[in-house]
Amino acid sequence: MIDPSDFIITRKRKKYKFALFANSPLCFEGDAWVKRHVDVIELGAGTGHFSVELAAKYPNKVFVAVDVKADRLQKGAAEAEILGLTNILFVRARADQLPELFEPASLESIWLTFPDPFPKKRSAGRRMTHPNYLQRYKTLLKPSGSFYLKHDSRDFFLWSLEQFVDEKWHIDELSFDLHESELSEDYKIKTAYEERWLGEGIPTNFVKASL
């Protein structure tokens, strides 16, 4: 039997995490975000651990982790604050809000890390590598910019590759088992989801694409 008090505790924890998000100088709601210089964004960032690692490695670049879940982003913000990082911010927003958040042709890189694959055909339009989204990414990247995708689902990944090709993106680097490849160590920084899938023996699919 489920104890009703469990729901109360969970609710209190969520409220506490939202309060931490609201009070962090590194965290912003999408509608309160002011456009500024940004080099790299991570979409579907979850806790933002991946971006935190990159921000620590490249202090001269500005990173933004974007996700719809404030309680997840709060964890990354706490990690960044402990490390004393000032070159990373966390924004709670949807992918369709990106043109409102960032200047056109301003981003050096966009990372999409383990988005929801929405496996049902009728949900294809919600996939974050759907042509509608790819068009938005094109407007935000600099002419020399790159888009990076990491994912555990081979079906979703292959479908995404088809969209890149159809939309005239150039495939610069590709691996169906990133951590066994000789590609850059930056690419191999693990997200929380990635740690889980690798622990279950599921390889990471990776692609770097450009305009």
172 noted as active-site residue: no
Cα 76 from chain centroid (whole Å) = 12
**Regarding beta strands 40-43 and 63-67, do their DSSP bridges make them parallel or antiparallel, or are they unpaired?**
parallel
- Tokens encoding 35: 């456009």
For residues 205 and 154, the answer to whether their CB atoms sit within 8 Å is yes
For residues 172 and 200, the answer to whether their CB atoms sit within 8 Å is no
Catalytic residue, chosen from 6, 31, 67, 116, is 116
DSSP letter string, 140-193? HEEEEEEEEEEES-HHHHHHHHHHHHHTT-EEEEEESSGGGS-S-GGGGPPPHH
Active site residues: 116
